[in-house]
Amino acid sequence: MAELFRMPAVSADDTAGVLSAWQVAEGAAFAADDALICVETDKAEVEVPAERPGVLLKTLYEPGTEIEVGTPVAVIGAPDESVGDLDALLAELGVAPAAGADVVRPERRTVPDAPAPDALIPDSPAPRTPVPPAPPAAEAGAAPGARLFSSPLARRLAREAGLELAELTGTGPGGRIVRRDVEAAVAARRNRPEPSAPPREPADRAASPAPARVQDPAGSGHQDIPHTRMRRAIAARLTESKQHTPHFYLRATCEVDELLAFRQRINAASPVKVSINDILVKAAALAHTAVPEMNATWHADAVRRYESVDVSIAVSADRGLLTPVLRGVERMSLSAVATATRDRAERARSGTLRQADLEGGSLTISNLGMYGVEEFAAIINPPQAAILAVGAVRDEAVVRDGAVTAVKAMTVVLSVDHRPVDGAVAARWLAAFTGALADPMRIVV
């Protein structure tokens, strides 16, 4: 039997999300656990699976629309179900088109005093007064006071780009200003040639100095790339971390000759290739087991310590930096860590991570060694207690028994939240971690 599919809350505190893409075409069948839609959250584009098999009878929103949690976004039916009169079915399900509107891909309405003819209005016990169709959106230069209709997402994008709604031409239903209209205006402004500067007045005719203007150097070009939801979330989260989390830093140089030889022996015998980063993840889990006080996060009323060691790995993707979590690393074999890490990295880059993949953990490992970076200090990903920044393996001269010898060395910097973790605890953890790298057989026994 046909039913409504509603906008899900992919994390506990979500009130709205952006419908990023439909993964199933209208009229197509799907199986249980097949992805129906992608929803853009603050951290990733999350695929929302179907709970049972069925067919997608009708989609109600275009991709790119910001939608409140719980709003109907599609009509789904049982396998092989078809519908003759879609309007009658929508009315039966408690959703009816507003007066004068077709049931086609509406923009979400969130402002009560801005009636949208294309919005879907749920039935309620109280009768509703039909909403008159909205007038076409005002053209650029429209008369002052003309009422403009736009989606919430379009209003936000226009505000961020410094555009007035009166400058835009709406191409949405009923002439409504939608996301693509703002993006088109931004692109047009970017390609518009800069006006030539007016001739300067003689000095003796200038009544007062003109205000200083900041301009790009002559002949230089630039491109303004609008912030994505994820980019804003990353910026807000890390800014908050630096402002409110008291960081302190511990640095260590690790000799990794034994580790490199150990990895070579493992990869010669195992069908699953193990990276240096996989070994670092296991070494971190070993250190967490040895110093359980580090396996903690700060909360308003308590320090929460965990029994399982969950470690996040930093992955650079087109959409931004993601930190998927490996759970129960202390119980995993090295090959299992390698397999799980590769899976998380591939799904991060393809945008198919689920929200649950990004939540939890008390430590993140961020490795920039593959880019030749020798040392850096990373910002803690709240609410985690620490992040380990890993540099490149390099040749270094050391003195042993009065003689200079060459070794393979790697620098790590541990950034720690001083609220749940004291300096001595972090120092013991770092000693356990570097000790595991010096004797990597401890990692697999």
Q: Which residues pair with 249 in a beta bridge?
A: 415
Instruction: State the CB neighbour count (10 A cutoff) for residue 341.
Output: 21
Q: With contact defined as beta carbons under 8 Å apart, do 322 and 358 qualify?
A: yes
Residue 82: Cβ-neighbour burial (10 angstroms; 0-12, 13-18, 19+): exposed
Render the burial of 390-404: b for 16+ CB within 10 Å, e for the rest.
Answer: bbbbeeeeeeeeeee
418 is catalytic: yes
Cα-flanking dihedrals φ and ψ of residue 273, to 5°?
-75, 130
Q: Find out whether 311 and 326 touch, Cβ atoms under 8 Å.
A: yes
- Contact (CB, 8 A) for 117 and 101: yes
324 within 8 A of 312, measured Cβ to Cβ: yes
Judge contact between 83 and 118, C-beta under 8 A: no
Which position among 227, 244, 247, 418 bears the catalytic label?
A: 418
Q: Give the H/E segment covering residue 387.
A: strand 386-400
Enzyme catalytic residues: 418
